Structure 1
Amino acid sequence: MGELEIVGRGRTADVYALDGARVLRRYREGGDATREAEVMTRLARCGYPVPEVLGAEGSDWETAEEGGAPGLDHAMSALILAEVAVSPAPYAQGARAGLAALVSRVGATALPHLAEARTRRAADPHLTEEEVGALGRAETLVRNEVDAHVVGGIEVVHEFR
């Protein structure tokens, strides 16, 4: 395999384009990627919108490319946290704090993708009617949280290391 084009970088791994349809995630400090690949495979079998796992070995695992912008991932994560935050769950307050932390990190990148994230969540066969009905409140909470992190038209984003 020749020089790989890096297309993403996370806290513990780098993501490389293999071709137009596949990416390789490589953990920078080694480790075993098979466990995470197994979780992703199980989530896919349950109908969750995750990339298809094509293989895993050592610190590398290969998936089908999602083809989505990082903002869609941010929107989906923010919306799921907001769903919990607007629910009567005893951990709703923690989810709201998690949403605030996420938005302070990613800023407004979720907003252009929030409608698509809501559509995808509403299509999730594992959500109850009540949960689908709460998506509007969750989306509003995400928008309000983003607005709270924009001061005088300037986005305030905090870097965490």
Structure 2
Amino acid sequence: MPPAEVAPTDPARAADVPGRLLTSGASADLYAIDDDRVLRRYRDGRDVTPERLLLDHLAAHGFPAPRVDDAAGADLVMEWLHGPTMLQALGAGEMTLHDAGELLADLHLRLHDVPAPAGWRPTGAGDAAAGPVVVHLDLHPGTVVLTERGPFVVDWAHARPASAELDVAVSALIVAEVAVDAGGDYSQAARALLASFLHASDIDAVAALDEAAALRANDPQLVPGERELVQDAAALVRTLVSLTARR
């Protein structure tokens, strides 16, 4: 979980934090406690009990997710995973796009081997999200931390029980949205990463693509302009899957 120089979203809570702010995400802030632990605090005050249950469950099944040391209210105390994100490693030329695509596919494969915990119902998941396996629904190069112990997946706020097809489709869309952004600096690299990911995955990304596109289009955390990219991104995923199938 790399540091980032950002200001706290809610300065009124500054006196109630254990250390310096490392990063502010869409829904939570991350603070350093010491050299080994961080505090993840959700700004909407959600109960983190379901997330702790999930992370403990993943650890019991050998999946590389952060260890949780404590959880109370909207706060999760977790191990500090030292290392760059996959996105940072790509930007620094420390990882190839081909290898990144294969790693993303492998992490999906390993995650979808984990059955959903019995009785687990994340906040806001709803009955329609029911499915047989644990899915992340935000697994992309920015949520994979490359540590000395190997890659770890972070940011489990969207996780729920669903299908492997939905998870792969959402990840493909997230990368494809960067690829179809004509004004973006990384569109060509994102297209190559997407092609590598789809080629390496044994899951049909098109099977749940419409559902994934609906989820993305209705995500309140999308910044202005991102929502308009979803349909073009879906079309790109369909095209690349079709090309892969012909090989």
TM over 0.5: yes
Instruction: Find 2:120's aligned residue among 12, 15, 21.
Output: 21
1:112-131 matches, within 5 Å, as: 112-131=207-226
Q: 1:145 matched to which residue of 2?
A: 240
Q: 1:111–1:16: structure 2 CA closer, same or farther, 3 Å change rule? A: closer
Q: 1:133 matched to which residue of 2?
A: 228
More helix by share: 1
Letter of the 1:78 counterpart = A
- The answer to whether the 8 Å contact 2:168/2:203 transfers is no
1:1-150 matches, within 5 Å, as: 11=107, 15=114, 18-21=117-120, 39-40=154-155, 44=157, 50-51=158-159, 66-87=160-181, 88-107=183-202, 109-150=204-245
Q: Distance in 1 between matches of 2:211 and 2:116?
A: 24
Indicate the percent of aligned positions where both proteins have the same amino acid. Answer: 37
Which is bigger in relative contact order (C-alpha 8 A, separation at least 6)? 1
SS at match of 1:40: coil
Q: Could you state the TM-score of these two structures normalised by the residue count of structure 1?
A: 0.59
Q: Distance in 2 between matches of 1:97 and 1:134?
A: 18
Letter of the 2:207 counterpart = P
SS at match of 2:185: coil
SS at match of 1:15: coil
1:54-90 residue CA offsets vs partner (Å, 9 max, x unmatched) = xxxxxxxxxxxx2211111110010011100001211
- The answer to whether the 8 Å contact 1:71/1:113 transfers is yes
1:15-57 residue CA offsets vs partner (Å, 9 max, x unmatched) = 3554243889xxxxxx6xxx95xx426xx3xxxxx22xxxxxx
Q: 1:18–1:134: structure 2 CA closer, same or farther, 3 Å change rule? A: closer
SS at match of 1:112: coil
Q: 1:145–1:108: structure 2 CA closer, same or farther, 3 Å change rule? A: farther
SS at match of 2:242: helix
- The answer to whether the 8 Å contact 1:121/1:132 transfers is yes
Q: 1:18–1:78: structure 2 CA closer, same or farther, 3 Å change rule? A: closer
Q: Distance in 2 between matches of 1:107 and 1:139?
A: 18
Q: Distance in 2 between matches of 1:68 and 1:100?
A: 24
The alignment of Structure 1 onto Structure 2 pairs a total of residues equal to 117
- The answer to whether the 8 Å contact 1:107/1:146 transfers is no
- The answer to whether the 8 Å contact 1:76/1:117 transfers is yes
Q: Could you state the TM-score of these two structures normalised by the residue count of structure 2?
A: 0.40
Segments of 5+ residues of structure 1 without an aligned counterpart are: 1-5, 25-30, 45-49, 52-65, 157-161
